Amino acid sequence: MNPSALILEPSVPFSDIKTSIVEKIWQLNNIDLLSTISGLLGKERPKEPELKPYTMEEINAEIDASLADIAAGRVYSTEQVFKSLKEELPWLE
């Protein structure tokens, strides 16, 4: 069988179909896009975790822990941070 015989000519030019798809994607926001893609793949979109604001006690505990780290010398200089970033993410230079 001739492989070219299996190719069906679309009734709408492919460029029009592609343009239509791109236009639809631009019309969707990110959440709608994820939902649409998930739906096309037959998967449900995972539920997002419920976020709660920090309490003042939690904020103060984090501040106290950070101040204790500074007092104990458990800190990084700016140079150390940038060096580490350049090593881990060389394309950002």
What are the domain boundaries of the chain? 12-48, 56-92
d(CA 45, CA 30): 12
Q: How confident is the model at residue 67 (pLDDT cuts 50, 70, 90)?
A: very high
The answer on pLDDT for 60 being more than 70 is: yes
> Which H helix or E strand runs over 78?
helix 78-88
The answer on pLDDT for 88 being more than 70 is: yes
Alpha carbon distances (Å) from 26 to 41, 45, 68: 19, 20, 49
d(CA 40, CA 21): 14
The pTM assigned to this predicted structure is 0.41
Q: pLDDT exceeding 90 applies to what percent of the chain?
A: 33
The answer on pLDDT for 33 being more than 80 is: no
Cα angle: 66, vertex 69, 71; to 5 degrees: 110
Residues 6+ apart with CB under 8 A from 34: 45
Give the mean model confidence (pLDDT) for residues 68-74. 94
